[in-house]
């Protein structure tokens, strides 16, 4: 692709220049802080400042000229041995880098303030740098100076601003710096369309294989017909045939031989074309995927600076080591990694790395090391953040979970290390007793885990007391393609992403046990609950009459389920097709895909599936193996009511009250969950709260009444708040009844239900 820069203004080119030179300056300053007299780094930094000074002069940004010139003088003085670049001076030079980035990032229409030589920010920088250079080197200390304290931003804020600058840049600095890496700006939408078309091309090319197999079958049928013709000719050989009959028979044999020869040639041509077409489609698809891949280094340039600034702010010494900078990562995955990696790095500095005094007392180097590593392994992307700090205090975690009332002391004492570490990912969980600007609010690790789940990956943590901790993410190489186990459920194909599968196995029916009313089987010394996929997804006969049941085990270390499917169809590499956003969140499904036969398949949302299973268990509606399909065929014997409420207490109260009247009740935890349930299930009545997250009750009523299939379903609104505006809005949306929670008792609610749908038993059976 062409690197056509003619479309950029001079200001745009200067911005690109600053982004490229900023990387050189940042890397050089970090190295100089560790080795003050590194000649190669001083030379690189001096040249970068000199280049920026010239570029700024060309575009008329006098303020940038002044900043770059002051920095260049500082580097020259260091080269000549006149000054030593200690921490205080490095901090000021980083401040100069941030000023240059700020100037370059200013839109051209607003850049007039930087055309004067010394606006206030620049004048302050020049004065502070000159004062720092005039300070006697022997008198310098590592403490924060008055000049640093007067800076408009803290070192941490400056590093965060620098990171924001990286994220806002639309063109890779490496691409601008390296003329050989010729690039062209392409929108993400166009790139996604290209990938989608290449994926469709790959799917279409696979259609030729089953077509060729059908022609092979035709060839076999033709061979059978040929043998029958030979037998017919032999049976007729003893009969006296006239010349015409013999001629016709010979002509048929000749034509049949021609057909055999022609079919064999065409089949050979088709097989050759199939191979070429498949190869071209695969190469096209691989190239489209490659266009989405970027080196890991593209989004981590600001991390070494951030680690340096934050460790100094916490009066610690730490350095970031990056391994696998060239590892290729899907650009969408890469963009979504920045925030969670920031959380993990900050966590390592604040919680893991000790102060220099503590490290020396423990026999460690004063400077801690944080390692950020990216690599490909077993078809997955592995990202790890580790440190050589104090590790995670498991006893403190154990005490915290008890103090916060999450579990009792007896249970806490029995938890394994892996089970204890799982608490770190709970929202709001923290072992810190005080809140600081860095941490203590219990946010961060839960956000990391949520991001990993969204990317169809997994997150593991391990620790060694006194030696450090390690957080490891296992992610798909690209979110555009998923390797999945294709299964059949209710006669339809469903794909389980391999990243979410614990294992697969065939469970003999005689190995199924019943514990506390639920079916289990034993695997690797653990009891795993058994669930029929047909009950969750719906469909035709599950075909569970076999003695060996195909089971997909999903879940985590503490909560696993065995999902019984009809059969395994094998592992596939599927192109992910996002569902139309107008459909909203489809229950238990994350996306779709096309198989090589052109048949659509649904990709399972495993986390949503586990929530659905938990709901079936909580409501006591979990079917047993061998009865699920029978229940589906029989149809409902009792009228079904859907209760929608975000309060567990209210939800269960209403469920028990309505069930006491003989009705079958299903529950939903909020409006969005209720909308998913009412679309895929059959209900005679919906009972909903008003105030709920994601989708409130008024919105749910509106959706139900606007759907032609559902508008006849009665809806009752039950609310604690007897607000006239809510009542009016609900009735206008189409609600059939409005009842306040404070005014109903058992008979009131049940009578309202009966008034809307009649008695519980509808007297029908399928």
d(CA 151, CA 694): 43
CATH number for the domain whose boundaries are 635-757: 3.40.50.2300
**Alpha carbon separation from 460 to 351, 379, 386 (Å, rounded):** 17, 18, 12
What does the pLDDT average to over 293-311? Answer: 87
* Ranges assigned E (strand) in 261-356: 293-295, 318-323, 328-330
Within 135-207, where are the H helices?
146-149, 155-168, 173-177, 188-206
What does the pLDDT average to over 542-568? Answer: 79
Q: Which CATH number fits domain 301-474: 3.40.190.10, 3.40.50.970, 3.40.50.261, 3.30.565.10?
A: 3.30.565.10
Q: How confident is the model at residue 471 (pLDDT cuts 50, 70, 90)?
A: very high
**Second CATH level (architecture) for the domain 481-628:** Beta Barrel (2.40)
What tokens were used for 493?
């194909």
Which is higher by pLDDT, 715 or 608?
715
DSSP for 326-351, written as a single string: T-EEEHHHHHHHHHHHHHHHHHIIII
d(CA 527, CA 510): 15
DSSP for 733-749, written as a single string: HT-SEEEEGGG--HHHH
d(CA 310, CA 154): 10
Least trusted range by pLDDT, from 54-58, 200-204, 417-421:
200-204
pLDDT at 508: 87
595, 572 Cβ separation under 8 angstroms: yes
What does the pLDDT average to over 489-500? Answer: 87
662, 762 Cβ separation under 8 angstroms: no
Q: Among all chains, which residue has been given the structure tokens 């199939």? A: 274
What tokens were used for 338?
């920045």
Residue 358 has pLDDT above 80, yes or no: yes
What does the pLDDT average to over 712-739? Answer: 82
Q: Among all chains, which residue has been given the structure tokens 């969950």? A: 673
Which is higher by pLDDT, 720 or 671?
671
d(CA 394, CA 309): 29
Could you tell me which of 696, 691, 656, 650 has the C-alpha nearest to residue 673? 696
d(CA 295, CA 330): 9
**Second CATH level (architecture) for the domain 10-185:** Up-down Bundle (1.20)
| 328 DSSP β-pair partners | 295
pLDDT at 647: 79
Q: How confident is the model at residue 385 (pLDDT cuts 50, 70, 90)?
A: very high
Q: How far is CA 112 from the centre of its chain?
A: 42
pLDDT at 629: 44
Q: Where do the domains of the chain lie?
A: 10-185, 189-294, 301-474, 481-628, 635-757
pLDDT at 200: 72
Q: How far is CA 629 from the centre of its chain?
A: 34
Mean pLDDT score across all residues of the chain: 79
């Amino acid at each position: 692709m062409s690197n056509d820069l003619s479309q950029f203004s001079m200001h745009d080119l200067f911005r690109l220049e600053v982004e490229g030179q900023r990387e050189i300056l940042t890397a050089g300053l970090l190295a100089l802080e560790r080795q003050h007299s590194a000649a190669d780094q001083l030379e690189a930094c001096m040249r970068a400042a000199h280049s920026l000074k010239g570029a700024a002069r060309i575009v008329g940004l006098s303020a940038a000229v002044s900043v770059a010139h002051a920095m260049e003088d500082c580097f020259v003085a260091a080269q000549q041995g006149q000054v030593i670049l200690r921490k205080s001076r490095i901090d000021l030079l980083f401040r100069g880098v941030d000023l240059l980035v700020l100037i370059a990032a200013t839109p051209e229409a607003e850049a007039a303030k930087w055309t004067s030589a010394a606006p206030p920010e620049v004048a302050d920088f020049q004065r502070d740098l000159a004062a720092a250079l005039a300070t006697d080197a022997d008198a310098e200390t590592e403490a924060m100076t008055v000049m640093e304290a007067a800076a408009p931003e803290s070192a941490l804020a400056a590093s965060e601003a620098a990171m924001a600058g990286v994220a806002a840049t639309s063109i890779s600095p490496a691409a601008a710096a390296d003329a050989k890496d010729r690039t062209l700006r392409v929108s993400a939408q166009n790139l996604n369309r290209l990938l989608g078309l290449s994926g469709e091309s790959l799917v279409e090319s696979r259609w030729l294989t089953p077509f060729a197999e059908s022609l092979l079958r035709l060839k076999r049928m033709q061979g059978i017909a040929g043998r029958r013709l030979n037998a017919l000719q032999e049976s007729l050989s003893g009969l006296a045939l006239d010349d015409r009959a013999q001629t016709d028979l010979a002509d048929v044999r000749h034509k049949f031989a021609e057909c055999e020869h022609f079919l064999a040639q065409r089949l050979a041509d088709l097989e050759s074309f199939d191979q070429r077409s498949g190869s071209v489609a695969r190469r096209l698809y691989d190239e489209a995927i490659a266009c989405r891949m970027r080196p890991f280094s593209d989004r981590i340039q600001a991390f070494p600076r951030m680690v340096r600034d934050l460790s100094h702010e916490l009066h610690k010494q730490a350095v970031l080591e990056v391994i696998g900078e060239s590892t290729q990562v899907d650009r969408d995955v890469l963009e979504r990694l920045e925030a969670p990696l920031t959380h993990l790095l900050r966590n390592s500095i604040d919680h893991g790395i000790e102060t220099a005094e503590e490290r020396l007392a423990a026999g460690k180097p004063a400077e801690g090391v944080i390692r950020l590593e990216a690599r490909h392994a077993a078809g997955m992307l592995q990202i790890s953040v580790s440190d050589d700090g104090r590790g995670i205090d498991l006893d403190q975690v154990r005490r915290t979970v008890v103090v916060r009332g999450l579990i009792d002391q007896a249970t806490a004492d029995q938890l394994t290390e892996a089970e204890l570490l799982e608490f770190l990912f709970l929202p709001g969980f923290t072992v810190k007793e005080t809140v600081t600007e860095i941490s203590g609010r219990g946010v961060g690790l839960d956000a990391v885990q949520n991001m990993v789940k969204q990317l169809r990956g997994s997150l593991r943590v391990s620790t060694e007391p006194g030696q450090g901790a390690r957080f490891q993410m296992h992610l798909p190489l690209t979110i555009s393609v998923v390797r999945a186990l294709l299964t059949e459920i209710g006669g339809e194909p469903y794909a389980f992403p391999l990243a979410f599968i614990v294992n697969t196995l065939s469970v003999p029916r005689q190995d199924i046990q019943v514990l506390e009313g639920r079916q289990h089987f034993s695997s690797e010394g653990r009891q795993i609950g058994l669930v029929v996929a047909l009950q969750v997804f719906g469909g035709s006969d599950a075909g569970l009459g076999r003695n060996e049941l195909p089971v997909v085990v999903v879940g985590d270390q503490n909560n696993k389920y065995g999902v019984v499917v009809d059969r395994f169809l094998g592992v596939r590499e599927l192109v992910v097709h996002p569902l139309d956003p107008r459909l909203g969140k489809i229950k238990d499904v994350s996306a779709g895909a096309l198989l090589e036969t052109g048949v659509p398949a649904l990709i399972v949302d495993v986390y949503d599936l586990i929530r659905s299973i938990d709901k079936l268990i909580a409501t006591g509606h979990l079917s047993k193996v061998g009865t699920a399909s029978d229940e589906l065929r029989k149809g409902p014997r009792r009228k079904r009511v859907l209760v929608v409420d975000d309060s567990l207490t209210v939800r269960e109260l209403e469920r028990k009250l309505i069930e006491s009247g003989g009705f079958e009740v299903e529950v939903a935890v909020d409006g969005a969950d209720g909308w998913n349930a009412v679309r895929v299930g059959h209900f005679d009545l919906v009972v909903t709260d008003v105030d709920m997250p994601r989708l409130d009750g008024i919105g749910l009523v509106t959706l139900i009444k606007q759907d032609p299939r559902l508008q006849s379903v009665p809806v009752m609104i039950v609310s604690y708040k007897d607000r006239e505006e809510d009542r009016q809005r609900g009735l206008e949306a189409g609600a059939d009844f409005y009842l306040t929670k404070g005014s109903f008792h058992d008979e009131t609610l049940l009578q309202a239900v009966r008034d809307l749908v009649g008695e519980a038993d509808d007297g029908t059976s399928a």
